[in-house]
Amino acid sequence: MQPIVMYATRFCPYCMRARGLFEHKGWAFEEISVDGNPGLRAEMMEKAGRHTVPQIWIGDQHIGGCDDLFGLEVAGQLDDLVLNTPAAGANE
């Protein structure tokens, strides 16, 4: 399983929706809260090139936000991306 990282805020409805999808699927994920932390928000913006939350990475791949995440889910691509892509260093 690929590691999942999500920059989020606590009460953002899109963050809650993405969080709910990960929890529904039983997938562990790291949530980085940018609430009241301009340094972490700046880090997120530099890495993602976007200022909105959530910003989601699966492995080293930047997925984007909630709409992008659910787009992968609707297209039937999310499970393969998370579960069937080897983790970095797995073949070394």
Spatial separation of the C-alpha atoms in residues 12 and 61, rounded to whole Å: 23
Tokens of 69: 């995440």
| List of domains in the chain | 4-84 (3.40.30.10)
Omega cis (within 30) before 13: no
Q: How confident is the model at residue 77 (pLDDT cuts 50, 70, 90)?
A: very high
Q: What is the pLDDT of residue 17?
A: 99
pTM value? 0.89
Q: What is the pLDDT of residue 87?
A: 59
